[in-house]
Structure 1
Amino acid sequence: MNNQIYGIRAILEAIEADQPINKVFLQKGLAGELFRELESTIRKNGISSSYVPVEKLNRLTKNNHQGAVAQISPVQFHDFEALAEKVLEEKDAPFFLLLDQISDVRNFGAIIRTAEVCGVDGIIIPKNGAAPITPDTVKTSAGAVFNVPIAKVDHLKDAIYYLQSSGVNVVGATEKADKNLYSIDFKLACAIVMGAEDRGISSSVLKVLDHSAKLPLMGQIGSLNVSVACGVFLYEVVRQRIS
């Protein structure tokens, strides 16, 4: 799977053509008019980027990269509002999944796989800070990444506000919650929010949720891997809806 574009002009053309770019790696200390144009275009389009030593770019590709290498996604991302409107029109009880800064590509792939088999109507991730869709993501998802719509948004809170205004109950998974997962009614339109591997759901997102819920942990370890915890939450929705 070829998931790279290299060269400043090639990347500019890819952005202009709305290619699904995960991230652009830029050479530290590079200057020039065309390079500055690329920097400006990246910022304007909200594309994730980072400045790296030339040695990293040389490892990414043996070709003449001109100081810029872009990683492209093997899937096309959906427009969030268009996806949400379509699902809300077609489903009586839509089922969304929001991921707040999940950064590990294999966790992301495992979550996508579970979401697909649980009938999730759409996955929403932030443009910045989220794990990219790489060949490892595709492999871990067992190809499910091609079956469930994924949308990127500038700010996860805006997506939550939009869903709430459309009658969707937004529930966050956090060990800080007072309520138990099994006390939440998931039979109505709902969205589950899962947080980052290391710090959970961000405080700003926690403040706007309709509910937060935790998993009962019977052992001594204080948390589960995020992909496992997500599976438990998603299957509780399935359990309630088929019972």
Structure 2
Amino acid sequence: GDDGDEEDKDEGGATTEAAAFELSDQAAKAVGSRIDAVKTEIGPGGRRHQPIIVVASLIDKAPNLGGLARTCEIFAAECLVVHDLAIKKDAIFKAVSVSASEWMPLVEVKPPAIARFLRAKRAEGFTVVGLEQAARSQELGKVELPEKVILVLGKEKEGIPVELIQELDIVVEIPQLGVIRSLNVHVSGAMLVWEYTRQRLARHVHSAE
């Protein structure tokens, strides 16, 4: 009777819904497996570095350099550029970096040599990206970052000097909603390294489909 028909309808609806969930679950697993494969290929587990170099030679505070070393290791950056390799012996740097400098390359480039270093890397195919609030800045999240990036971070409080701003191919700033409008340089650098990684993962996953 009516009860039986209603029951059949419910079962049919439940079956359709279950099939949809199963299909959705399969799609999610497929995407997840592709992401895992890409992460293995380009991440620390794959023993390969991403083609992003972080230039922190203008930064002199050990906690910021330690935090950047930790970030660069986590996201498999090619290397972290510092003003003095002696920073690796600094107790605060070692505490904040949590041994990151033992697993990823640190390169010494003194501030006067930064421009020359950037030009040499540009000749190798890197795009020079600076994190700074400037007239030609583009908002992070709205700019497509190239495959090979060399990221320049400015001095604490002072930012990137004018002579180096001229060396930048792309200038990026982080949109801010608060009153202070001053992010710690390590936090800013970490956000850009993650955005680069996110975009690169998305490109690799898309190309694998």
1:117 to 58, 61, 74: 74
Q: Is the 8 A contact 1:187 1:240 kept in 2?
A: no
TM-score, normalised via structure 2 length = 0.67
Deviation at 1:187, TM superposition (A): 4.3
The residue that corresponds to 2:101 in the other structure is 145
Deviation at 1:230, TM superposition (A): 0.8
1:1-243 alignment, distance < 5 Å: 94-127=51-84, 132-133=87-88, 134-154=90-110, 155-176=113-134, 177-243=136-202
Segments of structure 2 that go 5 or more residues without pairing to the other structure are 1-47, 203-209
CA shift digits 1:144-171 (9 cap, x unpaired): 0111101112411111001111110110
Change (3 A) 1:212 1:202: same
Once superposed, what is the RMSD of the aligned Cα atoms?
2.2
Segments of structure 1 that go 5 or more residues without pairing to the other structure are 1-90
Deviation at 1:131, TM superposition (A): 8.4
Greater C-alpha radius of gyration: 2
Taking the aligned partners of 1:239 and 1:203, their CA distance within structure 2 comes to 30
Taking the aligned partners of 2:142 and 2:57, their CA distance within structure 1 comes to 23
Taking the aligned partners of 2:147 and 2:50, their CA distance within structure 1 comes to 5
Structure 1's consecutive aligned runs of 4 or more residues displaced over 3 angstroms after TM superposition are none
2:59 partner letter: I
SS of the residue aligned with 1:195? coil
Deviation at 1:135, TM superposition (A): 1.7
Q: Is the 8 A contact 2:49 2:76 kept in 1?
A: no
CA shift digits 1:132-151 (9 cap, x unpaired): 33121011001101111011
Q: Is the 8 A contact 1:122 1:150 kept in 2?
A: yes
CA shift digits 1:207-226 (9 cap, x unpaired): 11111110000111111011
Give the length in aligned residue pairs: 152
More strand by share: 1
SS of the residue aligned with 1:162? helix
Taking the aligned partners of 2:192 and 2:95, their CA distance within structure 1 comes to 23
SS of the residue aligned with 1:121? strand
Deviation at 1:241, TM superposition (A): 1.0
The residue that corresponds to 2:43 in the other structure is none
